[in-house]
Structure 1
């Protein structure tokens, strides 16, 4: 292939980066909720006089509610587009934050959690998908790690909010902490209007001229833009010789969504089955290895370690948020240089060691409740900081990066939604059982259990997940065993539907 005579446009990569940043801001609301609830829970329990079980439910139920949003986002994003789905997510979370902020009782707080949960589901599904589809292959790993960057930034904002408003009267403090989450949602809803629609969604809708215009702004050369457009057309089942500004792509005779579910769940090819299992497994182990317990219940963990003052608890928790945010920035520079697998395996290996250290420290402290053991307390604090650091350089961002890039275009939105569903269910189970589990097998024993799950995760990732660095989205199928004949069959099946050029007026 001849080298392009056109100069490479660094400004186009910067434009793609700007689009990815704005779209990824949607998940700030996810991180903010996680961070703010960790501290607000202390005051919610005191003010509403609820039990530990009720507290577990209010902390973790948002993850279950988000299932509704994540599956709805798959349909919504294919219907109205990726960009407007981001706006929709922000609007829903805005309403949920206000409901929680004005909650007068437990029932109203739970209603706010439901609405906010739907918004969270929309955000965690659409932000990585849009970012992957707008990004050039050379920097896609860095850009699709942005959602995790903003989740961590949101967590830090939540921790800071806890610390800032903790001195307000009891009835007011936690309500301000939760209600102020409406502010970033409103800002996001306005800012995202300046980004373009996903070129892959535009092709799916037959808007080839619009897709070409977006690609020319987000790729380095006109030749690369033309090549990517041809690849996307092929993936969407549009004949190569069919061109024009706008074409009509009629609905499939078998029903579009039913056909996607059939290809994804009911009768998948071996390659699609492996892709789906890779995404679901990655999302499952991301949460089953205990991150929700470490982050969401960090004040409780530090209290068990011997730090009892509320202000000190929130201060140390802020240090956790700052550490997570700092280390997530590292991965944005490494993921396209080092690759996905090395970062993922190193991350999980470090998490295993950190969880064993945390379990050991908490067990020692638990066996000596009347005496402070400085080395054990220090081990707990260092282990938590190490855990969030290792999580942030690999397993955390790979939940956004890897699943968003491995699914074929035809099943990408719903496939990613299935992975997110695995994430949310697992997260909900972990967050709603941590306090009960800690009482049953001790808090130290809980983290030993999570370390065992993390060890299983390392084996799964090592044996099952191929490296995807440098591959275009349209080339991913070959990494998972999809033959050229399979891809051609998919293309021909879609092409059999009549695709005609839209007549001009």
Structure 2
């Protein structure tokens, strides 16, 4: 395959795009030794490019550790914040849940900011804002000051988390994009695990000190982000949008297997960027198109925003933020035992996200989503059953069995979430939108997810008091059942397609109604037959 790619050279075209592909039959005949030499050189270059792209994606994903750490650490820190600052249950819900809603400000402004100053510097700005908020929380003398720091941290997380997925999608080759854009979800899970471990490690300190140390440790990942900004390049697609073609070519030379692939990707990006010039690409026009979408853009919004919403309203944040509350309701008494049980949840979540990373570009997005949503439904129902039986039918099961069932159901729920809904949500939201809409549409997709997360986090304790903790998980199980239907009707398969080919797939009404499955060969035929179909009208 490498040899074939090396045999494809780029020559100037007479009209249209500056770049075009030369067919293999135009290449001069080479002897066997020369082919072997070129194949070996191509193999070395491919491995170098793969390592470089992976490194860039990994550094860009560090922002997600901030989000994960905050989610994990707050579940344990809140126990000691309650005791130290004497906050009410309502204040606890606001403190925990406000981050999801406030991160919307970062997400929505992040799209516009990334178009103005670039993808990677937007990630850096988010890290600085988060550092400021985390420092304020660490030294907060009261609930009011703690909330100010929490709000700043939320804005910073919104900035970084949204743009990281966009950046990774824009530097990744189509064949590895699913794996690489799953890295933020891996880092979220790693951050959650680190948060749980931090809770357990510092739980022996005094009530006044323990939660401050737990929150203060969260500043460390943002320091690494600052270092990463001097390692990773800017997105080549953003550079092309800014007409900085030599810089875009230099980046593509580092992340592509061959010069022929560089020319091919430049041609694709240039054609997509030229479409932007034919329409009013100002920020207001982009939002106007998103709020009054064409049928193709509407389908994109259904898939992108819908998957973000279902990711959250199926209760994953309730499971993670309030896992100590769940385990206490199941029968665990000691604070340290509660925090130890959450570490088991964190390990499970991290292990299964690694499983997803290896499957997402092999099995595809949609099959994993089916396994994920169905498995989550079963586990949520089992958790609701275990907690309800313990509360209303104590004689039917032993206390230890109830605790084991609850821990098993929570771990099962986060495991199924991590192999599907968790990573694929990031992948889809970063790859289904065209270049002119990608930053703002990805930010808009975050709205559904963050609002859903905030509603769940800020109402869980109140609702659980009204209908019981077990009753809440029956509600989540019902919503998860609906998500299975949503995946069937609204989410297409995008495995192995370039970002530009995905755009064409969403435009094709027939192909969409057939289930959203368009073969790569069909898409390539569409590209050859109708270059104008890059525009979504």
Same fold (TM over 0.5): yes
Unaligned 5+ residue runs, structure 1? 240-248, 494-505
Aligned partner of 1:180 in structure 2 is 217
Q: Deviations over 1:25-74 (max 9, x none)?
A: 11100000000000001111111111111100000001111111001110
Aligned partner of 1:352 in structure 2 is 377
Unaligned 5+ residue runs, structure 2? 8-37, 510-525
Aligned partner of 1:304 in structure 2 is 329
| Aligned mate of 1:465, from 491, 501, 505 | 491
The separation in 1 between residues aligned to 2:468 and 2:394, in whole angstroms, is 13
Contact 1:86 1:189 in 2 (8 A): no
| Aligned mate of 2:271, from 229, 234, 238 | 234
Residue 319 (structure 2) pairs with residue 275 (structure 1)? no
Q: Deviations over 1:369-413 (max 9, x none)?
A: 699522222111100111111000000001211110000000000
Contact 2:345 2:411 in 1 (8 A): yes
The separation in 1 between residues aligned to 2:452 and 2:120, in whole angstroms, is 28
The separation in 2 between residues aligned to 1:46 and 1:415, in whole angstroms, is 42
Give the C-alpha shift of residue 194 in structure 1: 0.5
Contact 1:234 1:491 in 2 (8 A): no
The separation in 2 between residues aligned to 1:342 and 1:214, in whole angstroms, is 34
Give the C-alpha shift of residue 337 in structure 1: 0.5
Aligned partner of 2:429 in structure 1 is 403
| Aligned mate of 1:315, from 308, 327, 340 | 340
| Other structure's SS at 2:229 match | helix
Structure 2 vs 1, CA of residues 354 and 489 (structure 1 numbering), >3 Å: closer, same or farther?
closer
The separation in 2 between residues aligned to 1:277 and 1:492, in whole angstroms, is 15
Size of the aligned set, in residue pairs, is 481
Aligned partner of 2:167 in structure 1 is 130
Residue 354 (structure 2) pairs with residue 329 (structure 1)? yes
| Aligned mate of 2:458, from 419, 422, 432 | 432
The separation in 2 between residues aligned to 1:486 and 1:45, in whole angstroms, is 62
The separation in 1 between residues aligned to 2:535 and 2:357, in whole angstroms, is 34
Aligned partner of 1:367 in structure 2 is 392
Q: Deviations over 1:251-296 (max 9, x none)?
A: x895611111122212x11011100111110000000000000001
Give the C-alpha shift of residue 159 in structure 1: 0.5
| Aligned mate of 2:208, from 168, 171, 178 | 171
Structure 2 vs 1, CA of residues 486 and 454 (structure 1 numbering), >3 Å: closer, same or farther?
farther
Structure 2 vs 1, CA of residues 491 and 367 (structure 1 numbering), >3 Å: closer, same or farther?
closer
Give the C-alpha shift of residue 366 in structure 1: 1.4
Contact 1:99 1:112 in 2 (8 A): yes
Give the C-alpha shift of residue 490 in structure 1: 6.4
Aligned partner of 1:499 in structure 2 is none
| Other structure's SS at 1:193 match | coil
| Aligned mate of 1:219, from 256, 266, 274 | 256
Aligned partner of 1:498 in structure 2 is none
| Other structure's SS at 1:299 match | helix
The separation in 1 between residues aligned to 2:505 and 2:341, in whole angstroms, is 43
| Aligned mate of 1:382, from 399, 408, 417 | 408
Contact 1:13 1:136 in 2 (8 A): no
Aligned partner of 2:316 in structure 1 is 291
Aligned partner of 1:89 in structure 2 is 126
CA RMSD, 1 decimal:
2.0
The separation in 1 between residues aligned to 2:533 and 2:384, in whole angstroms, is 52
| Other structure's SS at 2:479 match | helix
Residue 230 (structure 2) pairs with residue 193 (structure 1)? yes
Aligned partner of 1:502 in structure 2 is none
The separation in 1 between residues aligned to 2:470 and 2:250, in whole angstroms, is 56
Q: TM-score when scaled to structure 2?
A: 0.87
Residue 182 (structure 2) pairs with residue 145 (structure 1)? yes
Aligned partner of 1:497 in structure 2 is none
